[in-house]
């Protein structure tokens, strides 16, 4: 159904299947004699905008679609022009190209039939949030650059901490706080660097080569990348072996033995990366007992919960992060 009214504004109402109430109103500003100035207002009823409907259809279609795959490097290059077009194309043409050339060949991470790496993590709400964030495109690296963005980040971090039932010392409303990072690798690198600087301030920068990082043989490779960027001696990365008897979780005794051996060798243990949901086996490290070992040696504990930590919001699972303090 389409409705167009005459006058100063054009109103189009689109109805398609179960999508209702999505209405876009465009009001023309006739005061400008230089160019047409359109002010767009979007109202949401119980339906979706056209882009959201497209996203929903794409998600539904991805459940049934077979992936054509890429047979060799450069397989996509032959279907795309070799250089950027000189003249702009309409969004309709671009979306048609995406539908025809990209979607059949892309790896659909959000499909329920996709079992590599991580499970589906996108949602319509997330899609809309990304759209708003990209539209505002503010730089929120500190309060001065964008006060509202910074304060909103603080609020959201407290919300997340409260949902996970973290101690108040982790919240902005307490003595703590946090930062939204773009990736897990960024988060681990930021934490590792902070832990490194804290330890060096205590033992002296000349001990840099003696710093030791710990994890299990199931810990994500991001810890290796972060340690390399932070300047940690590659020989001082400890991937403590796990076994089936602990469901491949890091055994506190094994950690204690590894740390004790390094101390006796004159090294400086300073960082432990524990994990709730390793990416290869979904193993869960016993956070509480590991923290007790770390406390005896003043080791900074970082808990990587990127894969399964969100489950701890559910009332039946928060015990998996017990011991964080």
What whole-number percentage of the chain has pLDDT above 70? 76
Do the domain assignments include residue 79?
Answer: no
Give 298's contacts (C-beta < 8 A, 6+ positions apart). Answer: 199, 270
Do the domain assignments include residue 76?
Answer: no
Residues 263 and 313 in one domain: yes
Residues 10 and 64 in one domain: no
Threshold 0.85, pTM exceeds: no
Cα 284 to Cα 167, 242, 279, 308, 314, distances in angstroms:
20, 11, 10, 9, 16
Higher-confidence residue: 69 or 247? 247
Residues 259 and 200 in one domain: yes
Residues 100 and 227 in one domain: no
pLDDT at 261: 98
Residues 173 and 187 in one domain: no
Q: How far apart are CA 281 and CA 247, in angstroms?
A: 9
Do the domain assignments include residue 103?
Answer: yes
Residues 154 and 268 in one domain: no
270 and 290 in contact (C-beta within 8 Å)? no
Residues 196 and 144 in one domain: no
Q: Say which range, 7-11, 48-52, 229-233, has the weakest mean pLDDT.
A: 7-11
Residues 266 and 291 in one domain: yes
Residues 146 and 123 in one domain: no
Return the bridge partners of 12, or none. 24
Give 179's contacts (C-beta < 8 A, 6+ positions apart). Answer: 153, 157, 190
Do the domain assignments include residue 278?
Answer: yes
Residues 275 and 198 in one domain: yes
Do the domain assignments include residue 78?
Answer: no
Overall average pLDDT of the 236-248 stretch? 97
Overall average pLDDT of the 165-185 stretch? 91
Q: Say which range, 49-53, 99-103, 179-183, 210-214, has the weakest mean pLDDT.
A: 49-53
Do the domain assignments include residue 10?
Answer: yes
Return the bridge partners of 42, or none. 24
pLDDT at 51: 60
Do the domain assignments include residue 52?
Answer: no
- pLDDT band for position 296 (50/70/90)? very high
320 and 292 in contact (C-beta within 8 Å)? no
Do the domain assignments include residue 202?
Answer: yes
283 and 265 in contact (C-beta within 8 Å)? no
Overall average pLDDT of the 307-324 stretch? 89
Task: Report whether pLDDT(291) > 60.
Answer: yes
Residues 215 and 302 in one domain: yes
Domain boundary residue, one of 180, 199, 233:
180
Task: Please state whether beta strands 268-275 and 211-216 pair in parallel, antiparallel, or not at all (unpaired).
Answer: parallel
Q: What is the mean pLDDT of the chain?
A: 82
Task: Report whether pLDDT(290) > 50.
Answer: yes
Range of the domain at 40: 1-47
- pLDDT band for position 42 (50/70/90)? very low
Residues 204 and 243 in one domain: yes
Q: How many domains, the chain? A: 4
Overall average pLDDT of the 211-227 stretch? 97
Q: Domain of 203: which CATH number?
A: 3.40.640.10
pLDDT at 13: 39
């Amino acid at each position: 159904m389409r409705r167009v009214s005459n006058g100063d504004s054009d109103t189009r109402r689109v109805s398609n299947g179960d999508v209702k109430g999505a209405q876009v109103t465009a009001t023309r500003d006739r005061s400008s004699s230089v160019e047409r100035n359109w002010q767009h207002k979007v109202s949401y009823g119980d339906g979706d905008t056209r882009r959201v409907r497209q996203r929903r259809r794409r998600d539904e279609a991805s459940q049934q679609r077979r992936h054509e795959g890429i047979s060799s490097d450069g397989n996509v290059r032959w279907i795309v022009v070799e250089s950027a077009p000189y003249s702009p194309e309409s969004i309709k043409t671009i979306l048609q190209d995406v539908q025809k050339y990209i979607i059949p060949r892309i790896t659909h991470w959000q499909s329920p039939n996709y079992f590599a790496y991580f499970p589906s993590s996108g949602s319509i709400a997330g899609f809309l949030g990304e759209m708003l964030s990209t539209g505002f495109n503010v730089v929120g690296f500190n309060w001065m650059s964008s006060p509202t963005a910074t304060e909103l980040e603080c609020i959201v971090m407290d919300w997340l901490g409260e949902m996970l039932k973290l101690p108040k010392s982790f919240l902005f409303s307490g003595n703590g706080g946090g930062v939204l990072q773009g990736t897990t690798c960024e988060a681990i690198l930021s934490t590792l660097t902070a832990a490194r600087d804290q330890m060096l301030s205590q033992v002296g920068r000349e001990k840099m080569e003696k710093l030791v990082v710990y994890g299990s043989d199931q810990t994500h490779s991001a810890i290796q990348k972060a340690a390399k960027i932070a300047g940690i001696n590659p020989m001082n990365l400890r991937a403590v072996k796990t076994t089936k008897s602990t469901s491949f979780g890091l055994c506190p005794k094994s950690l204690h033995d590894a740390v004790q051996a390094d101390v006796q060798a004159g090294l400086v243990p300073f960082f432990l990366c524990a994990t709730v949901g390793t990416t290869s086996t979904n193993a869960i490290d016993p956070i509480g007992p590991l923290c007790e070992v770390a406390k005896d040696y003043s080791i900074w504990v970082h808990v990587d919960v990127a894969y399964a930590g969100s489950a701890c919001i559910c009332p039946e699972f928060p015990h998996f992060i017990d011991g964080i303090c």
